[in-house]
Amino acid sequence: MVFKNLREEIATILEHDPAARSTLEVVLCYPGFHALLFYRLAHWLWVRRWLVLARWISTVARTLTGIEIHPGAKIGKRLFIDHGMGVVIGETAEIGDDVTLYQGVTLGGTKLHRGKRHPTIEDGVIVSAGAKVLGGFTVGKGARIGPNAIVRSEVPAGARVVAPRSTVLAREHRDVKQEPQPQEFVPYGTPGDDIPDPVARALNGLLDEVQALRARVTQLEAELEEQPEPLLKTGTGPTLVRGEEE
HEC profile of the chain: CHHHHHHHHHHHHHHHCCCCCCHHHHHHHCHHHHHHHHHHHHHHHHHCCCHHHHHHHHHHHHHHHCCEECCCCEECCCCEECCCCCCEECCCCEECCCCEECCCCEEECCCCCCCCCCCEECCCCEECCCCEEECCCEECCCCEECCCCEECCCECCCCEECCCCCCCCCCCCCCCCCCCCCCCCCHHHCCCCCCCCHHHHHHHHHHHHHHHHHHHHHHHHHHHHHCCCCCECCCCCCCCECCCCC
Please report the pLDDT score of residue 128 as a whole number.
93
Backbone angles phi, psi at 3, to 5 degrees: -65, -35
Average pLDDT (25-42) is 95
Q: Say if residue 246's pLDDT is above 60.
A: no
Distance between CA 147 and CA 141 in Å, rounded?
18
| Percent of residues, the chain, with pLDDT higher than 90 | 61
State the chain's maximal CA–CA distance in angstroms: 108
- Gap between the Cα atoms of 59 and 66, Å rounded: 10
Instruction: Identify the weakest region by mean pLDDT among 47-51, 56-60, 110-114.
Output: 110-114
Residue range 29-35: mean pLDDT, rounded: 95
Lowest model confidence (mean pLDDT) among 28-42, 73-87, 189-203: 189-203
Q: Which residue has the higher pLDDT, 223 or 75?
A: 75
Task: Reply yes or no on whether the pLDDT at 204 is more than 90.
Answer: no
| Res 244: pLDDT | 47
Say if residues 201 and 195 touch (Cβ distance below 8 Å): no
pLDDT category at 179 given cuts 50, 70, 90 is low
> What is the pLDDT at residue 234?
52
- pLDDT tens-place string over residues 82-121: 999 999 999 999 999 999 999 999 999 988 888 999 999 9
What pLDDT score does 192 carry?
Answer: 54
Residue 201's pLDDT is 67
Minimal CA–CA distance to 20: which of 82, 67, 87, 73? 82
Q: Is the pLDDT of residue 174 over 60?
A: no
- Sorted by where each begins, the domain ranges of the chain are 2-161
Looking at per-residue pLDDT, the higher value among 42 and 216 belongs to 42
> pLDDT > 70: what percent of the chain?
76
pLDDT grade, residue 168 (50/70/90)?
low
Vertex 199 angle, CA 196 and 202, to 5°: 100
Which of 13-22, 153-162, 179-188 is predicted with the least confidence, judged by mean pLDDT?
Answer: 179-188
CATH 2.30.40.10 fits 2-161, yes or no: no
* Most confident by average pLDDT, 61-65, 207-211, 242-246: 61-65
Short-list 42, 98, 101, CA closest to 73: 42
Task: Write the pLDDT tens digit of every residue in 135-144.
Answer: 999 999 999 9
Q: Are 55 and 72 in contact (CB under 8 A)?
A: no
CB 135 within 8 A of CB 161: no
